Structure 1
Amino acid sequence: MFVARLALGRPPPSLAPPCRCAAAAAAQLSRPGVRPASSSSSSSSRWKQRQGRDKYARDAKVHALKSRAAFKLLEMDAKYRLFKPNQTVVDLGYAPGSWSQVAVERTRPHGHVVGIDLIPAQPPRGVATFQGDFLSPMVQRLVKDFILRMRRDAGPEPPNNDGGGGGEEEQRLAASAVDRPSYIDRERHLGETTSDMEAEEASSPADAALVDLVLSDMLMNTSGNAFRDHAGSMDLCAAALQFASDTLKPGGHFVCKFYQGAEDKALEQRLRKLFAKVHREKPESSRSESKEAYFIALRRKQGVLLEGEA
């Protein structure tokens, strides 16, 4: 079972232009009259104290960002120019939604952002989201089919160049994806009653190659066992990479969070076969004690497939 949502309404506050560090981004993001996001009443005292001392967590509240993780993506975008206007972006593990907030802002005026997460969360405005297990082939197939239909409904693809305005048009395109309840009902019914083989026939890999950027901030719940946490991270990265291989256009980009360990070199080699440039990053806004890092894979190669793909 999955749930598909599309959040409409006023777009989020404008994010700052790309800058060289998250500290500068935080300073430029400030806008008057923005209400800070509410803190979780279920947070422990220790967590609250750490958040209170955390500059990025404070800045995220001030700028109405759903989490401090937004600053990691802002840093990577400042360095590698991941986003362009009018892109189609898929955010894997989107909850609570701060990366999707950044993506919506950076891809205006005619961008499309789709989020997937197992955790139920309120989607950022302007983001179509699926609640479901990304590791399920059925969920992945439904997401690919949704992207295909969304792009077909939107008509000819606008150029990836800067342009002002477009807010009303963006809302119109978003509304067109949800103003047909029969479509959502049809997809939900498909997820409950059809076989994987039938879903596989819904669209071809060539049709699904409509995505400009795949973001993966997915991580399994940590166990405290470094080997197990690293292995789980590699499994999620492999699934995200397969999805990126299926859906990215030539020239598209892929960003994936991982826990550092013995197997990440092998993952890096797979990335280098599929992308022109691959970088490792630990953003300044990542906590120093964290083992997390990111692969930034740029410019998907034309005609190159992962091992085992026909």
Structure 2
Amino acid sequence: MSKTKGTKSSAGKSLSDPSLTGRKEKIRVKTVNKRSTSSARWLERQLNDPYVAEAQKRGLRSRAAFKLIELDEKYKLLRKGLRVLDLGAAPGGWSQVAAERVGPKGRVLAVDILAMDPLPGVTVMQQDFMADEAPARIRAALDGPADLVMSDMAAPTIGHTRTDHLRIMAMAETAYQFAAEVLAPGGTFLCKLFQGGATKDLLDLLKRDFEQVRHVKPPASRADSAEIYVVATGFRGGKGS
């Protein structure tokens, strides 16, 4: 991942600002009353995460917004006037960044099975992406081929590593199958994956269909997370709708 020193976020603030990356005294959370050990660990991680605090300070919907900011600063994914489809958009961190960067002449369609509060410059669709009616509804709302399809979706986990990985990869593959139908020639596919053997099949498919495929872990991705992001640029198809 490229260095972020001197670069600016969508709020105009350097991602290497001390308020984001500086060392702070760690907050400890105890297990009290009905709070489980796992809940205490999650709360402690949230309270000590500089990206969580910075997202709240800047009015961003989620810490995940910084992942897209960092990826965009390196790969120039978002430009004025682009048409963007955001799959698994809730609570809206990626859509929020995308809408600002594509501007009023662009279009951002946010799709999620969960309800999502409105965002300026974003069309929000509450829809199960895996449902039979989803592709037709999404195409109609896009009203044209997409320049960028991005997916931060992850299937609910059950605690069995192998099963969870396969379910996550199945969702990523489904996201790409749809992206291939709506992407414009030269378009981009950005998707969250989890490290594991099953990622190779999807990466091979993307290498066939795109001019360049990279997989990267942005700085905002937690170090203990198995997530990586694939950035596929220069779509060779172009069926579009």
TM range (shorter): 0.7 to 0.9
Over the residues paired in the alignment, what is the CA RMSD in angstroms? 2.4
In the alignment, structure 1 segments of 5+ residues that lack a partner are 1-13, 28-41, 149-207, 306-310
Checking the alignment, whether the CA contact within 8 Å between 1:218 and 1:236 is kept in structure 2 is: yes
Aligned to 1:121: 116
- Rounded to whole Å, the distance in 1 between the matches of 2:178 and 2:211 is 18
- Rounded to whole Å, the distance in 1 between the matches of 2:146 and 2:86 is 11
Q: Which has the higher helix share?
A: 1
- Rounded to whole Å, the distance in 1 between the matches of 2:214 and 2:135 is 26
Q: Deviations over 1:197-249 (max 9, x none)?
A: xxxxxxxxxxx5x1100010000112221111110111111111011100010
Aligned to 1:100: 95
Relative to structure 1, is the Cα distance of residues 294 and 18 closer, same or farther in structure 2, using a 3 angstrom cutoff? farther
Aligned to 1:193: none
Structure 1 letter corresponding to 2:104: P
Aligned to 1:145: 140
Q: Which runs of structure 2 are paired with 1:100-249 in the superposition (5 Å)?
A: 100-148=95-143, 208=144, 210-249=145-184
Checking the alignment, whether the CA contact within 8 Å between 1:275 and 1:298 is kept in structure 2 is: yes
Pick the aligned partner of 2:16 from 10, 15, 23: 23
Aligned to 1:264: 199
CA shift at 1:48, angstroms?
2.9
Relative to structure 1, is the Cα distance of residues 239 and 302 closer, same or farther in structure 2, using a 3 angstrom cutoff? closer
Aligned to 2:190: 255
SS of the equivalent of 1:137 reads coil
Checking the alignment, whether the CA contact within 8 Å between 2:210 and 2:234 is kept in structure 1 is: yes
SS of the equivalent of 2:201 reads helix
Checking the alignment, whether the CA contact within 8 Å between 2:165 and 2:196 is kept in structure 1 is: yes
SS of the equivalent of 2:68 reads helix
Percent identity of equivalent pairs = 40
CA shift at 1:109, angstroms?
3.3
- Rounded to whole Å, the distance in 2 between the matches of 1:303 and 1:95 is 27
SS of the equivalent of 1:212 reads strand
- Rounded to whole Å, the distance in 1 between the matches of 2:83 and 2:238 is 20
Q: Which runs of structure 2 are paired with 1:62-81 in the superposition (5 Å)?
A: 62-81=57-76
CA shift at 1:125, angstroms?
2.1
Relative to structure 1, is the Cα distance of residues 110 and 18 closer, same or farther in structure 2, using a 3 angstrom cutoff? farther
Checking the alignment, whether the CA contact within 8 Å between 1:274 and 1:304 is kept in structure 2 is: no
Aligned length: 216
Higher RCO structure, 1 or 2 (CA under 8 Å, sep 6+): 1
CA shift at 1:56, angstroms?
0.5
CA shift at 1:23, angstroms?
3.2
Structure 1 letter corresponding to 2:48: R
CA shift at 1:283, angstroms?
0.8
Determine if the alignment matches structure 1 residue 279 to structure 2 residue 229: no
Structure 1 letter corresponding to 2:178: F
Task: Pick the structure with greater CA Rg.
Answer: 1
Structure 2 letter corresponding to 1:270: L
- Rounded to whole Å, the distance in 1 between the matches of 2:19 and 2:189 is 24
SS of the equivalent of 2:133 reads helix
CA shift at 1:266, angstroms?
1.0
TM-score (structure 2 length as normaliser) = 0.83
Q: Deviations over 1:109-156 (max 9, x none)?
A: 3111001101112132221111121011311211101222xxxxxxxx
Structure 2 letter corresponding to 1:23: S
Structure 2 letter corresponding to 1:232: R
CA shift at 1:301, angstroms?
1.0
Structure 2 letter corresponding to 1:68: R
Aligned to 1:165: none
Q: Which runs of structure 2 are paired with 1:17-56 in the superposition (5 Å)?
A: 22-23=15-16, 44-56=39-51
- Rounded to whole Å, the distance in 1 between the matches of 2:98 and 2:156 is 25
